[in-house]
């Protein structure tokens, strides 16, 4: 487990390049900073300044090496690297509220932007006019879109929204792609078609994630629940009400297990059993170092009683987790979503943690045995 | 100019009603189901002085509505012996613990006599089982108990 503290401000969002040597992040302002890995140090190599409002989403298209950013100024820019500098191209999103999240599609020929205008903008490049055009998905979204994730077939898009629902839409653009084949989520996929909608839960859907095969969809909600739905089996919706504070981000690390993190400042593991349709809590992935129990003198005991009404030195409220504030985003570094070996978390403490799956899992096993 | 500003009838118009994109909340209308039968619960209490039947009975009736139900619940919770609270909480499933937490917080809203002390004891035990998540679910619940 490695931890690097980039800033004192929260990291609003981050994205990695293909070989994971560079990270683009927003230091809670209107800019995007790109850092390059230098051994164990990180040096800032680029500053992307174009947005007029906070940058709320960054995604790096690893194969075509383009970055898309979206911000509270209702704009999105596609950045391409030309002669060592990143040059922006404005994308007209036609929204009248802030953009909240952005994701490149798997084939990187289009991207989706979720916004507070209660719609999703699907943007693709029109060769004849040499600019980015967008189409809107509006119905039946009733509130801000907080998170997006593409299905591996490049057509289906999952969206988590503030109207307490997680939905799967078709974002099929006939100008850039062939008609997709049938999937467990449905076979008729015209643009904007709603293929799945979760039942109204109790909280905003903070994060959605498709599994590697695209057959499973997981999302976290503000009422401290994690849910998994399987395509095609309409009855198969399992939720787990967790005992922790709400989780803000989730990703699959194998077809059957998810890692999620949120306001409790540590990542947690969940295991999904497809056959029984059950979701279970797998363990806390941040095992604190056991502090050596020192002997406390009688004088110290009374002092502690006087000061904090308890005899022990440290209170339970001391954070002995890696991150010292909520974790807002999680991304897979190595291994993909079916055999993840490393993942990265960034949070409101301005730091980035890199987690080694094998190491953290072995820690849980040792802890629970 | 002064003629235009004389009338203030426009102030009585609710412009939000005419907004096409107004968010209309879909409530499933589950709020008016009958509360637990008072007589039945009283009967149960008399039969089992250590009232282990209480919480399960409540859990079986999902989302009873109204103040009557809430007073009833507080009465049932107060009738438990302190040593029995932990066992009772342990016998509930996850949904039951969430429902219990909702009633505890409702009870806190309208304190009476000794209710707060008893409710705090229940809260401590329920928190140990349900964790912070159960409190979050009380706060984010859209169907209030």
Q: Hunting for tokens 């308890």 — which residue is that?
A: A310
Q: Which residues of A touch B21 (CB under 8 A)?
A: 118
Domains of chain B: 34-140 (1.25.40.190)
The pLDDT value recorded for residue B54 is: 46
The pLDDT value recorded for residue B100 is: 86
The pLDDT value recorded for residue A205 is: 94
Does the distance separating the beta carbons of A244 and B131 come in below 8 Å? yes
Q: What is the pLDDT of residues A216-239, one digit of tens each?
A: 999 999 988 898 988 876 656 677
Q: Which residues of A touch B136 (CB under 8 A)?
A: 203, 222-224, 245-246
Best of B95, B140, B141, B144 to disrupt the A interface (most A CBs within 10 Å) is: B140
H, E, C per residue of chain A: CEEEECCCCCCCCEEECCCCCEEEECCCCCEEEEEEEECCEEEEEEEEECCCCCEEEEEEECCCCEEEEEECCCCEEEEEEECCEEEEEEECCCCCCCEEEEEECCCCCEEEEEECCCCEEEEEEECCCCEEEEEEECCCCCCCEEEEEECCCCCEEEEEECCCCEEEEECCCCCCCCCCCCECCECCCCCCCEEEECCCCCCCEEEEEECCCCCEEEEEECCCEEEEEECCCCCCEEEEECCCCCEEEEEECCCCEEEEEECCCCCEEEEEECCCCEEEEEEECCCCCCCCCCCCCHHHHHHHHHHHCCCCCCCCCCCCCCCCCCEEEEEEEECCCCCCCEEEEEECCCEEEEEEHHHHHHHHHHHHC
Ranges A5-19, A185-199, B87-101: which has the least confidence = B87-101
Q: What is the pLDDT of residues A46-87, one digit of tens each?
A: 999 999 999 999 999 989 999 999 999 999 999 999 999 999
- Phi first, then psi, for residue A236 (nearest 5°) are -85, 85
Helix-strand-coil percent breakdown of chain B, rounded to 5? 60, 0, 40
Cα dist from A67 to A77, A81, B72, B141, B142, whole Å: 8, 9, 60, 39, 39
Closest CB to B133: pick one of A142, A143, A241: A241
Per-residue pLDDT tens listing for chain B (145 residues) = 666 677 777 778 877 777 776 666 655 443 333 344 444 555 555 444 443 344 444 444 444 456 777 788 888 888 888 888 888 888 888 888 888 888 888 888 888 777 888 889 889 988 988 888 889 988 888 766 5
The pLDDT value recorded for residue A40 is: 85
Residues of B with CB under 8 A from a CB of A: 21, 23, 26, 94, 98, 130-134, 136-137, 140-142
Residue A262 to chain B, least CA–CA distance (Å) = 12
Domains of chain A: 11-196 (2.130.10.10)
Average pLDDT over residues A102-120: 94
Does the distance separating the beta carbons of B23 and A223 come in below 8 Å? no
Which pTM value belongs to this model? 0.82
């Amino acid at each position: 487990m490695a931890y690097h503290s980039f800033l004192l401000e929260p990291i609003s969002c981050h994205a990695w390049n293909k070989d994971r040597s560079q990270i683009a992040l927003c230091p809670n302002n209107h800019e995007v900073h790109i850092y390059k890995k230098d051994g164990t140090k990180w040096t800032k190599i680029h500053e992307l300044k174009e947005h007029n409002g906070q940058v709320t989403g960054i995604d790096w298209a690893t194969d075509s090496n383009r970055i898309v950013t979206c911000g509270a100024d209702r704009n999105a820019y596609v950045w391409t690297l030309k002669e060592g500098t990143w040059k922006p191209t404005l994308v007209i999103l036609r929204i009248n509220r802030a953009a909240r999240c952005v994701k490149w599609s798997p084939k990187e020929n289009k991207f989706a932007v979720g916004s507070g205008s209660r719609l999703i903008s699907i943007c693709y490049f029109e060769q004849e006019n040499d600019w980015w055009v967008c189409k809107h998905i509006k119905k039946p979204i009733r509130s801000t879109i907080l998170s997006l994730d593409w299905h591996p077939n490049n057509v289906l898009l999952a969206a988590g929204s503030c109207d307490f629902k997680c939905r799967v839409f078709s974002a099929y653009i006939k100008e850039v792609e062939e008609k997709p084949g049938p999937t467990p989520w449905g076979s008729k996929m015209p643009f904007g078609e709603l293929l799945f909608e979760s039942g109204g839960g109790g909280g905003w859907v903070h994060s959605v994630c498709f599994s590697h095969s695209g057959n499973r969809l997981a999302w976290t909600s503000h009422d401290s629940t994690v849910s998994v739905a399987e395509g095609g089996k309409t009855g198969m919706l399992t939720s787990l009400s967790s005992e922790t504070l709400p989780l803000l981000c989730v990703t699959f690390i194998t077809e059957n297990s998810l890692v999620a993190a949120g306001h409790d400042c540590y990542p947690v593991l969940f295991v999904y059993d497809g056959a029984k349709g059950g979701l279970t809590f797998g363990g806390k992935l941040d095992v604190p170092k056991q502090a050596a129990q020192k002997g406390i003198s009688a004088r110290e005991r009374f002092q502690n009683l006087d000061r904090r009404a308890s005899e022990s030195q440290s209170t339970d409220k001391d954070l002995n987790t890696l991150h010292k504030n909520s974790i807002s985003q999680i991304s897979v570094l190595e291994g993909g979503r079916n055999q993840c070996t490393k993942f990265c978390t960034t949070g409101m403490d301005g730091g980035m943690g890199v987690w080694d799956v094998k190491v953290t899992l072995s820690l849980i096993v040792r802890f629970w045995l | 100019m002064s003629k235009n500003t004389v009338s203030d009838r426009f102030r009585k118009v609710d412009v939000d009603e005419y907004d096409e994109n107004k968010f209309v909340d879909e409530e499933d209308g589950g709020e008016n189901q009958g509360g637990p039968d008072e007589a039945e619960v009283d009967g149960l209490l008399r039969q089992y002085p250590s009232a282990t039947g209480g919480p399960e009975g409540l859990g079986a009736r999902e989302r009873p509505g109204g103040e009557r139900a809430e007073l009833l619940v507080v009465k049932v919770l107060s009738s438990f012996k302190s040593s029995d609270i932990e066992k009772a909480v342990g016998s509930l499933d996850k949904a039951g613990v969430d429902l219990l937490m909702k009633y505890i917080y409702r009870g806190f809203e309208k304190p009476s006599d000794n209710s707060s002390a008893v409710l705090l004891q229940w809260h401590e035990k329920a928190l140990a089982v349900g964790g912070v998540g159960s409190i979050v679910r009380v706060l984010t619940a859209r169907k209030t108990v």
